Amino acid sequence: MSPTAALAAGAVCISSTAVLMRLADTSASLAALGRCAFALPVLGALAWVERRPRNGRPGAPPMPSRRRWLARLAGVILAADLIVWDHTIADIGAGLSTVVGNLEVLIISVLAWLVLGERPRRSLVLASPVMLAGLVLVGGLADGAGSHAYGADPRLGVVLGVGVALLYAIYILMLRQATSSPGAGPAPAARTAVAAPLFEATVGAVAGSVVLGLALGDFTHGLGPAGWATFGWLALLALTSQVIGWLLITVAMPRLAAGMIGALLLIQPAGSVALSYLFLGERPSALQLTGVALMLAGVVIAVSGRAPAHPYSRRRTRIIRQAPAASSGRSAPKSP
């Protein structure tokens, strides 16, 4: 599977996340804890298998300590993201909260530009006003007093959704750094660890959920109206999203530019809006659905342009172009 296809498949898997969180019908911290705790044994087993030799080939090398802790810290950010997201779902619904949260496509590109030096593609810059216009419509800001907009408090939901997008963007970039190898190009070795960094991030998310849940007093609400069925929904959430979905995404992340990662992950909200319509009976207003269409149209614009060259590729091209100098008797400059 190509990196683009793997990331797209992962985004489809996680499109059910908000719907399953709503069906679990429990507190925000318990939902975040359940999603990650149920995933830990599966990810731990996969990480163990990943390290074993197979068919005469060595297993994936163990993660360096710095990258393990970076993945765990990313998991703490994920826990905060899931808790804020749960409150966003309560204000604006499962489908629309997913759409707003995926504003991270813009935030990822800005952070990657400022922190990692990855210039955003021109098409993504052109898509930005389209996505922001869609955000205004999703929040019901064009509905006058907001009486026709779906959700208990759509404007607050949009504000919280922007916070979710920021946390989500930080999590994706940190996990991407934890899975990248120094000096690696866009296609790392086949035996690069995949399950291990996701396992470490999930460990951090479990710890973060416990700490935040205790600080917020969120664990005192019990299982909620769903009762013991809550655990079934959370186990399904862990399998589809935290294990299968994010394994596919983690495979693809080191091989793609940060802006492309954010753009492809916007496949998620389309599925979430459809599932929330079918299973939760959510009926956004016509203007809100127009906003969803604008934000998804922004995806098409964002991925239509040519991605900027990977820094490793530019460096490799430079070395190849210098090669004839050596054959002509002149010493070729040494690469750093």
pLDDT, residue 277, reads 92
DSSP conformation letters of 14-65: GGGHHHHHHHH-S-HHHHHHHHHHHHHHHHHHHHHHHHS-BTTB--PPPPPH
Structure confidence at residue 252 (pLDDT): 86
pLDDT reported for residue 99: 86
Higher pLDDT, 18 or 114: 18
Same domain (yes/no): 328, 180: no
Q: How far is CA 269 from the centre of its chain?
A: 12
Specify the higher pLDDT residue, 90 or 246.
90
Residue 44: per-residue pLDDT: 94
189 inside domain: yes
Identity of the residue numbered 207: A
Query: Structural domain of residue 333, as residue ranges?
Result: 312-336
129 shares its domain with 172: yes
pLDDT at site 68: 93
Average pLDDT over residues 129-151: 77
In 93-153, alpha helices (H): 94-101, 104-111, 122-138
Distance of CA 321 to the CA centre of its chain: 37
Same domain as 330, residue 213: no
- For residues 236 and 317, state if they share a domain: no
In terms of pTM, does the model score above 0.85? no
For 28-83, the pLDDT digits (tens) are 999 999 999 999 999 999 999 988 887 777 877 888 899 999 999 999 999 999 99
* 271-309 pLDDT, tens digit each: 898 899 999 999 998 888 898 888 878 766 766 665 554
Residues 151 and 43 in one domain: yes
Q: Are residues 34 and 159 in the same domain?
A: yes
- What's the rounded mean pLDDT across residues 193-211? 93
pLDDT the model gives residue 305:
60
Instruction: Kindly state whether residues 227 and 330 are assigned to the same domain.
Output: no
Q: What is the number of domains present in the chain?
A: 2
Q: Do 290 and 324 fall into the same domain?
A: no
- pLDDT at residue 36, as a whole number: 95
The pLDDT of residue 222: 62
* 153: in domain: yes
Are residues 326 and 301 part of one domain?
A: no
Work out the average pLDDT over 137-150: 71
- Position 57 in a domain: no
